[in-house]
Structure 1
Amino acid sequence: MGLRFTVLASGSTGNATIVQGSEKTVLVDAGLSMKKLEEVMREQGIAGHHLDALFVTHEHSDHIKGLGAFARKYELPIYANEATWGALERHVGNIAPEKRVYIETGETVDFGPMKVQSYPISHDAAEPVGYTFEEHGEKLSLATDLGYMSEKVKRHIIDSDVLVLESNHDTEMLRMGRYPWNIKRRILSDIGHLSNVAAGEALCELMTDRTKRVYLAHLSLDHNVMDLAKLTVNTILEDHGIFYKKEEHPLRETHHDRPTPWDEVRRK
């Protein structure tokens, strides 16, 4: 068995993804309550005691809500960079010293044949990161909470077999929405979130012959809908001469309230 994954939840109400290799299984972020995490994991036929580690992208509550309680219950090591540890400590309660694993941004962690590498992203957090997973020539990349698509991020996630990419908001919906202007400005900034248009434009450079599927992720509940995100991204791809038959289309959905089906990275 190669890499497979399920996005348990994605969005401002909570984020969590399980990535399973041939020998190790990890949880990326724990932005749901412990009860909700256990519930959606149970739907996917997996439990906390099946996990080997927990990786953190950054310290915002929609990524660490259940982190402390979940990691303590299942005695999981938590991997994060030093700045993120400093920012999240007061939010997660007591974590045993031996369960705190400090990794530098850009460092690769070997989990048997599965290699987990973090990379820097632009977001208003202490030292936010995304992660790539590689095993036996298969590559999965998780890229959300991006203020913008930097060249450095592109270098890390290009040529992924499967990409989970932020498509957070429709710009006009956000501008006309109910949020105060300071929040809108933050979301639209280079340390905020990637819009549908920005996601589509990035994919024109990121999608190669190797790319099988792209999951649009971290959609705003107030300023986006999945059908609009997919339409916008697909229109931009077509404008750049990138066409797909309907039955072969690579765009996939994530949800804020339910998990995606297990997906094998190597699957065509």
Structure 2
Amino acid sequence: MRFSVLASGSTGNAVYVENDEHAFLVDVGLSGKKMEELFAKIDRDMKKLTGLLVTHEHSDHIKGLGVIARKYNVPVYANAKTWQAMDGLVGNIPTDLRFQFDMETTKSFGSLSIESFAVSHDAADPMFYIFHENDRKLALITDTGYVSDRMKGHIKGADSFVFESNHDVGMLQMGRYPWNTKRRILSDVGHVSNEDAAVAMSEVAFEKPTQIYLSHLSKDNNMKELARLSVSQTLQSCGILTGEYLHLHDTDAEEPTALVTV
């Protein structure tokens, strides 16, 4: 199993996951043209996609969904409430490309299994995905106001995580956003801060080689260097030193990460 975080941030999100038989794109939060450029950078062909997995209906996750589904004839998977919420936002997606992926269920595609689980975000019915192949596990979790014990139970022990580290609380509080927006981000249906993300990481990362990709960083209220420093320091306070078995990686809003094996 291999993956690349094609784009991650407040302007657009997409994660590519493949094995030797199947290829999936989790969210299509950039234009169709930009998605094609990102695929070219990791030397992959959209014509070989097995499916598009939708987490929720916010524009930074579905901007290019309809275009890519229609152009490349790719099946789209989402839960019922997300399908309803996307109505009118993604254009017409043919019936034969529309599939329902219920919350808290698992679908299998050959040796690859994909598990869905609920998160806490201000969307119709937001959920994220965990990929399993043999004894390897890749967990994706962003766009959640907090990481509950139930969520931790789903993602714990993954070999690789794409983990939200959205904002620095101080930068957000002192920044230019109106108070209502700040309150929404800080709420239980907003986004996870650097420190809160790190505490959750300390509770789900097992003592084995583990890769964590810090994702969905706010353009205005975070920085890569600050996120890495905050997460590292908080992990250290929880008794985990990064660089031993746990390794942190950056993601970018416009440049894909290298395609790596889980």
1:211 CA displacement = 4.8
Aligned residue among 258, 261, 267 for 2:258: 261
**Residue equivalent to 1:81:** 79
Q: Is the 8 A contact 1:215 1:251 kept in 2?
A: yes
Taking the aligned partners of 1:114 and 1:249, their CA distance within structure 2 comes to 25
Gaps of 5+ in 1: none
Of 53, 56, 61, 1:55 maps to 53
**Structure-1 separation of matches of 2:212 and 2:260:** 12
Aligned residues: 262
Cα offset, 1:249, TM superposition: 5.3
Residue 30 of structure 2 is aligned to residue 32 of structure 1:
yes
Aligned runs of 1:1-268 on 2, under 5 Å?
3-245=1-243, 250-265=247-262
Query: Structure 1 CA distance, aligned partners of 2:204 and 2:238?
Result: 13
Instruction: Measure the CA separation in 1 of the matches of 2:140 and 2:209.
Output: 14
- Which contiguous aligned blocks of 4+ residues in structure 1 show a shift greater than 6 angstroms? none
Shift of 1:236: 1.0
Name stretches of at least 5 consecutive residues in structure 2 with no aligned partner. Answer: none
Deviations 1:206-230 (A, max 9, x none): 1112351100000000000011111
Q: Secondary structure at the match of 1:62?
A: helix
TM-score by length of 2: 0.98
SS of aligned partner of 2:85: helix
Task: Give the letter aligned to residue 98 of structure 2.
Answer: R
Distance 1:178 1:113 in 2: 48
Look up the SS of the partner of 1:32 in the other structure: coil
Structure 2 residue identity aligned to 1:20: E
Alignment deviations for residues 75-115 of structure 1 (CA, whole Å, 9 cap, x no partner): 01000000000000210111111110012101111111100
- Say if 1:160 and 1:211, in contact at 8 Å, map to a contact too: no
Query: Per-residue deviation at 1:245?
Result: 4.0
Output the amino acid matched with 1:264. Answer: T
Shift of 1:22: 2.4
Deviates more, 1:206-215 or 1:79-88: 206-215
Q: Percent identity?
A: 49
Give, as a single letter, the amino acid of the residue that structure 1 aligns with 2:247.
P
- Structure 2 distance, partners of 1:6, 1:91, is 26
Task: Say if 2:166 and 2:217, in contact at 8 Å, map to a contact too.
Answer: yes
**Gap change, CA 1:77 and 1:243, over 3 Å in 2:** same
Contact (CA 8 Å) 1:167, 1:196: kept in 2 or not? yes
Deviations 1:148-207 (A, max 9, x none): 011111011000000110000000100011010000000000000000010111111011
